[in-house]
Amino acid sequence: MANFPGVQNSSVIYDLQLTPRPASGVGINDIITEMFLHDDVNTWTDTLLNLDMPNYYLTFGAIVIQLLTLTVEDDRADAIIEAMADLFSYPQEEYDFMTTYYVPEVNFFKPIIINWH
């Protein structure tokens, strides 16, 4: 979704949090590449642990929610999202972010995405 007009300005979609992250995915890739090329191996753990990246639950949830929200009727998508969150024991904090902020943001951009040529 990041390539659609206006989405780059949405930290909810682009960064999976309410505020922008210090580096994009490309920026994180550059940091890791530079680390491999120039940093002592003893510093790699600290570098990797200090990267500001969304966790697995947010990333996985975003993929599933985008797929459902863009392909299934809203009521049905909401019911499936809730059932899957229960089934996979999705953490409450991530669930709250996704349902309070992420789903409405994807729905806001849905007409742009569906009508994009």
Mean of per-residue pLDDT scores for the chain = 89
pLDDT tens, residue by residue, 52-86: 999 988 999 999 999 998 899 999 999 999 999 99
pLDDT at 75: 93
HSE at residue 5, side-chain half, CA atoms within 13 A, is 6
pLDDT higher than 90, residue 109: no
CB-based contact 15:108 (threshold 8 Å): no
**Bigger pLDDT: 1 or 107?**
107
pLDDT higher than 70, residue 3: no
Helix locations, 72-102, DSSP H: 74-87, 92-97
Query: How many beta carbons lie within 10 A of that of residue 15, not counting itself?
Result: 19
Residue range 34-39: mean pLDDT, rounded: 97
Q: In degrees rounded to 5, what are phi and psi of residue 24?
A: -80, 180
